[in-house]
Chain A
Amino acid sequence: MAKVNNEKIIELKNITKIYDQEKVVEDVSLAIHAGDFVTILGPSGCGKTTLLRMIAGFEKPTQGTILLQGVDVTNVPPYKRNINTVFQKYALFPHLNVFNNVAYGLKLKKVPDATAKKGYRLLSTTEIKDKVNAALTMVDLADYGHRDIDSLSGGQQQRIAIARALVNEPKVLLLDEPLSALDLKMRKEMQLELRRLHHELGITFIYVTHDQEEAMTMSDTIVVMRDGVIQQVGTPKKIYDEPQNAYTADFIGESNIISGKMLKDYQVEFFGTQFACLDKGFGKNEPVDVVVRPEDVKINKADPQIAGKVISSVFKGTFYDLTVLVGDYELSVKNTRDYAVGTPLNLTILPDGIHIMRKEALTNAYHTVITGENTVAIGDVDFAFVPTAGEQFNKGDAVVAVIDFDKIELTDDEKEGQIGGSISDLIYKGRYYQAKVWLDNDTALIVDTPYEWDADDRVGLKINQADIKVRHDEEAK
């Protein structure tokens, strides 16, 4: 284990980045400790690479500050930061051979030297040669110095890119999906290799990836991002065992996410059955999301809690991936034994296999304005609504339109809906999918839908006039 101390090597404070009026990163605050292996994990377009590029200095945040060892470097150009980056496509200089690629940074390096006139000196040729050879040895390419870049395989190029960054002895090494261009076997090898380098050198690694397995294997700390916002920060184990919300649970590993009700502390109800759990601090009868990992569902134990029927079984090498119908919920179960389709099963879920999460929201509370007599803006479209008796609305009033998740219908043909949008992510919740739909004015609605959609699908949204409940926006006042 690399040394992790409490020195904050990098601190991000309220970082926001806006491109073309779109918030790519939104109010991100994060402290990274010296010697840590931190992975920023999220799907493509979640802002993770932008965040990394701001730490490297290639982009300036629209708002917020970046501290490197307590010094504000927000406006310091990249060539003055003691941080090095390994790029996704390696970006090795084609006009230099392997040795000169690795030596590039060293030849520019100024070493403090009291005896020199300017107070610093450049490294000597022998010093550079020794350091480059040491770096090449470190990545197992000791005799490759004279080689042309084009003569190397992808994996070798990646190693050279790593050596080129590490040879400068940076305080922090940034890695932007460095393994994504390699095949699976090579990727696994390089994961171990990176882990070893981190262990040996003890410098801070900040790693960006969309591959949750890679993140789990390598990191000390994982930062889960979604739509430019940090969802959760924690050790891989903590994030797996105690995901903070349904999104994280779904993104990290396979999971069953079931809507349930917290009856009281340590007591939860789902599938119409009461289960003991380890969670407390929820309101009485508060609706919650329950996460059950497929490997935590036990089959045919002494005191069964629920019954189901196998509807599919897929062999995955070391285990069977069973889908068990419990009521109308399709529960995913991992088991070492195979069961034929149609077999009735008794299932048990132990308290430590149940993780309770607060529901992110129970209903859409859409902040908007009144556009006319009993019409309200949702996206760029005016929707009619029926005002509750006694409420008075005037044009321009700030209001909240409350629409239940299951009261919005998604249509394949965008024109069939009253308004169009695109799906950003989808979480399977047993009977239905929960989708986040971005409208074209950059606001979002959450919709429960029986159909499986793909990310970026264009859909139409249909909302019944009676299902839009409007109240005055107290916060806006």
Chain B
Amino acid sequence: MKKPSNFNRRSLFALPYWLYMTVFVVVPLLMLLFFAFYNNGHGFSFAEVTKYFTDSSQWATIGRSLRIAFLAAMLCLCLGYPLAYLIAKIKSQKLQYLTLMALVAPMWINGLLRTIALKDLTTLLGWAAGEDLLILGLTIDYLPFMIMPTYLVITGIPRSYLEVSADLGAHPVTTFFKVELPLSMAGLISGFLMVFTPAVSTYYMSEYLGDQSTFMIGEQLNTMFIKDNKSGAAVIALVLLAIVGLSVVLTNALSRLGNRRGGLY
């Protein structure tokens, strides 16, 4: 039996969410598209888009941003995964949480403050601003985003899998590479994305820790706003959206090769 009236009444509860989605997701996206092709009030044209994509320096900025974010994400992965693994293997549950807290606690401090503090510290140590420092800063800043999902995935691997592996003749090192690492893949991928996504569009980090040679998309966006070039800004925002969207699709495709469970994306 169909009860259409009942269904309608219940769907009313979804209204606030529809409203929210429309106002904060759909409309802004449409506005982005509108501004990108409206050419700062000169009517509909592809001028801004063409200008952006024919400018080789813009391509260089995209490439640079991708490279810096990728290196930072890889560094986070190389540091964060072993750290998360070691924490997950601590016997005392209390000590596990304490260590995890200690690593996540810096995130409670305002990001800008942290960046300025890091800048001051490195100046004191005599390190010059530039790509190396920027990558280091991004790594330090986003490390917790790598540790959390990987930690969750490692602690989620049932102990019986490790016991079966040992039972079948695998040394603990073999077990790590044949069982734990493959089963951590989902966490590694979501950790990678959680670092890469904000890093690729960072603004204040490159502003404080980088120099002219590290000009990134985020700064470019800022320049557009300073110049009051709304259409230019909209084009860059769309490019960023595409980069993030593509990286999610790409990594998800990769993860389908490995394990399907766990992770946050």
Segment at the B interface, from A102-110, A288-296, A456-464 = A102-110
Chain B residues near A85 (CB-CB < 8 A): 163-164, 167
Give the interface size class of chain B: 20 to 34
Q: B261 touching A108 by the CB < 8 A rule?
A: no
Q: A109 touching B169 by the CB < 8 A rule?
A: yes
Distance of A98 Cα from B171 Cα, bound (Å): 22
Once A87-B160, A89-B160, A108-B174 are accepted as A-B contacts, the answer to whether A95 and B259 lie under 8 Å apart by CB is yes
Once A89-B160, A91-B161, A95-B258 are accepted as A-B contacts, the answer to whether A79 and B167 lie under 8 Å apart by CB is yes
Give the residue name and chain of the B residue nearest to A58 (CB). B163
* Chain B proximity of A187: nearest CB distance (Å): 21
Q: Does B63 contact A (CB under 8 A)?
A: no
Q: B182 touching A78 by the CB < 8 A rule?
A: no
Distance of A56 Cα from B178 Cα, bound (Å): 21
Contact pattern, B 172-187, Cβ under 8 Å of A = 1, otherwise 0: 1010001100110000
* Chain B proximity of A178: nearest CB distance (Å): 13
Distance of A397 Cα from B56 Cα, bound (Å): 95
Once A93-B179, A95-B258, A95-B259 are accepted as A-B contacts, the answer to whether A164 and B160 lie under 8 Å apart by CB is no
* Chain B proximity of A345: nearest CB distance (Å): 53
Distance of A91 Cα from B168 Cα, bound (Å): 12
Q: Which of B68-89 contact A (CB under 8 A)?
A: none
Question: Which of B163, B183, B261 sits near A78, CB closer than 8 Å?
Answer: B163
Q: Does A77 contact B (CB under 8 A)?
A: yes
* Chain B proximity of A203: nearest CB distance (Å): 15
Q: Which of B97-118 contact A (CB under 8 A)?
A: none
Chain A residues near B169 (CB-CB < 8 A): 79-80, 105, 108-109, 168
Chain A residues near B41 (CB-CB < 8 A): none
Q: A79 touching B166 by the CB < 8 A rule?
A: yes
Q: A104 touching B168 by the CB < 8 A rule?
A: yes
* Chain B proximity of A383: nearest CB distance (Å): 39
Chain A residues near B258 (CB-CB < 8 A): 95
Give the residue name and chain of the B residue nearest to A56 (CB). B167
Give the residue name and chain of the B residue nearest to A77 (CB). B166
Q: Does A84 contact B (CB under 8 A)?
A: yes
Q: Does B61 contact A (CB under 8 A)?
A: no
Give the residue name and chain of the B residue nearest to A83 (CB). B167
Give the residue name and chain of the B residue nearest to A91 (CB). B160
Q: Does A94 contact B (CB under 8 A)?
A: yes
Give the residue name and chain of the A residue nearest to B260 (CB). A94
Give the residue name and chain of the B residue nearest to A107 (CB). B178
Question: Which of A78, A87, A165 sits near B166, CB closer than 8 Å?
Answer: A78
Chain B residues near A168 (CB-CB < 8 A): 168-169
Q: A87 touching B164 by the CB < 8 A rule?
A: yes
Q: Which of B170-228 contact A (CB under 8 A)?
A: 170-172, 174, 178-179, 182-183
Chain A residues near B252 (CB-CB < 8 A): none
Chain A residues near B166 (CB-CB < 8 A): 57-58, 77-79
Q: B170 touching A108 by the CB < 8 A rule?
A: yes
Chain A residues near B165 (CB-CB < 8 A): 79, 104
Q: Does B158 contact A (CB under 8 A)?
A: yes
Chain B residues near A94 (CB-CB < 8 A): 183, 259, 261
* Chain A proximity of B6: nearest CB distance (Å): 36
Q: Which of A66-114 contact B (CB under 8 A)?
A: 77-80, 83-85, 87, 89, 91, 93-95, 104-105, 108-109
Question: Which of A91, A104, A109 sits near B163, CB closer than 8 Å?
Answer: A91
Give the residue name and chain of the B residue nearest to A102 (CB). B168
Distance of A93 Cα from B158 Cα, bound (Å): 10
Give the residue name and chain of the A residue nearest to B181 (CB). A95
* Chain A proximity of B50: nearest CB distance (Å): 47
Contact pattern, B 135-171, Cβ under 8 Å of A = 1, otherwise 0: 0000000000000000000000010110111111111
* Chain B proximity of A204: nearest CB distance (Å): 16
Distance of A223 Cα from B170 Cα, bound (Å): 31
Chain B residues near A105 (CB-CB < 8 A): 168-169
Chain B residues near A84 (CB-CB < 8 A): 167-168
Distance of A89 Cα from B158 Cα, bound (Å): 11
Question: Which of A57, A89, A95, A108 sits near B168, CB closer than 8 Å?
Answer: A108
Give the residue name and chain of the A residue nearest to B161 (CB). A91
Chain A residues near B161 (CB-CB < 8 A): 91, 93
Q: A79 touching B170 by the CB < 8 A rule?
A: yes
* Chain A proximity of B262: nearest CB distance (Å): 11
* Chain B proximity of A107: nearest CB distance (Å): 9
* Chain A proximity of B173: nearest CB distance (Å): 11
Distance of A80 Cα from B158 Cα, bound (Å): 22
Distance of A109 Cα from B258 Cα, bound (Å): 25
* Chain B proximity of A53: nearest CB distance (Å): 9
Chain B residues near A104 (CB-CB < 8 A): 165, 168, 170, 178
Q: Which of A6-51 contact B (CB under 8 A)?
A: none
Distance of A221 Cα from B262 Cα, bound (Å): 44
* Chain B proximity of A98: nearest CB distance (Å): 15
Q: Could you pull out 8 A-B pairs where Cβ atoms are within 8 angstroms?
A: A79-B165, A79-B171, A85-B163, A87-B163, A104-B170, A108-B170, A109-B169, A164-B168
Which positions in B face A, CB cutoff 8 Å? Answer: 158, 160-161, 163-172, 174, 178-179, 182-183, 258-259, 261
Extra contacts, 15 of them, besides A79-B170, A94-B183, A168-B169 (Cβ < 8 A), are: A56-B163, A56-B167, A78-B167, A79-B171, A79-B172, A80-B169, A84-B167, A91-B158, A91-B160, A91-B164, A93-B161, A94-B259, A95-B182, A104-B165, A108-B168
Q: Which 10 A-B pairs have CB atoms at the shortest separation, nearest pair first?
A: A105-B168, A91-B160, A78-B166, A108-B169, A79-B166, A95-B182, A91-B164, A85-B167, A95-B259, A79-B169
